[in-house]
Amino acid sequence: MNVLVWSGVLVLGGLGAVARFLVDRSVARRTAGSFPFGTLVVNLSGALVLGFLTGLALPHEVALLAGTALIGSYTTFSTWMLETQRLGEERQARHAAANIFVSVSLGLMAAAAGMWLGMAVNGN
């Protein structure tokens, strides 16, 4: 990998992390309760975009930058798991189970929808 690719990882990774923070905070301000809607919105939108990028069949380095650097830093598995564990500790088992079920099922649907859209744009 060359300096341009590493620079892209640095810039896009930073942009993805900042976007995650802004989206999460924006959603959290609009929702009440203990369910982590901000993380859910971030991860579902990230799955949609990553599916779209996959459907476009981008060149390897472009896909690496967009998928890994930008979307990888935007989405967050660790926060999702931490929030689920916190819900369990707070004896909110229904919220914890819903967080897992909704995130996985809607995430798969979002990725599939994104891939379908990307393939449609790409002419496949």
Binding positions for Na(+): 72, 75
φ, ψ at 95 (rounded to 5°):
-65, -40
Whole-Å CA distances, 82 to 13, 100, 111: 21, 11, 22
Closest alpha carbon to 16 in 46, 41, 39, 44 = 46
Binding-site annotation, residues: 72, 75
What does the angle CA 12 – CA 63 – CA 82 come to, to the nearest 5 degrees?
60
Whole-Å CA distances, 24 to 44, 57, 71: 12, 29, 14
